[in-house]
Amino acid sequence: APLAEIVVMSPSGLHVRRTGMTSWEWAPMDKRCKIHAGDRIAILLESPPGSGMPGPARDVEAEEAACLLGVELSSPGPQ
């Protein structure tokens, strides 16, 4: 089951890397995305790495991009 559902608020969209996947999935503004444990959300994605350029509005393979700032979700531990 998903841990959360996010709505993309950025006009430039955002990238999500699913657990076990080798690519960053691009999501456009207003899209709803279900987020599972281990998924990563890129807040600042650079492509190509070292270029200072933002990630493109498309899916990108991991080696095509560097996540400079992001969030990885995990399941809450026992209470």
pLDDT in tens, 20-65: 999 999 999 999 999 999 999 999 999 999 999 999 999 999 999 9
State the pLDDT at residue 16.
98
Does the pTM surpass 0.85? The reply is: yes
Question: What is the spatial distance between Cα 27 and Cα 16, in angstroms, rounded to a whole number?
Answer: 8
CA–CA dist 15, 59 (Å, integer): 8
Instruction: Determine phi and psi for 28, rounding to 5 degrees.
Output: -75, 165
Phi/psi at 64 (5° precision): -85, -10
How far apart are the two ends of the chain, measured CA to CA in Å? Answer: 19
Please name which of 69, 76, 70 lies closest in space to residue 3, comparing C-alpha atoms.
76
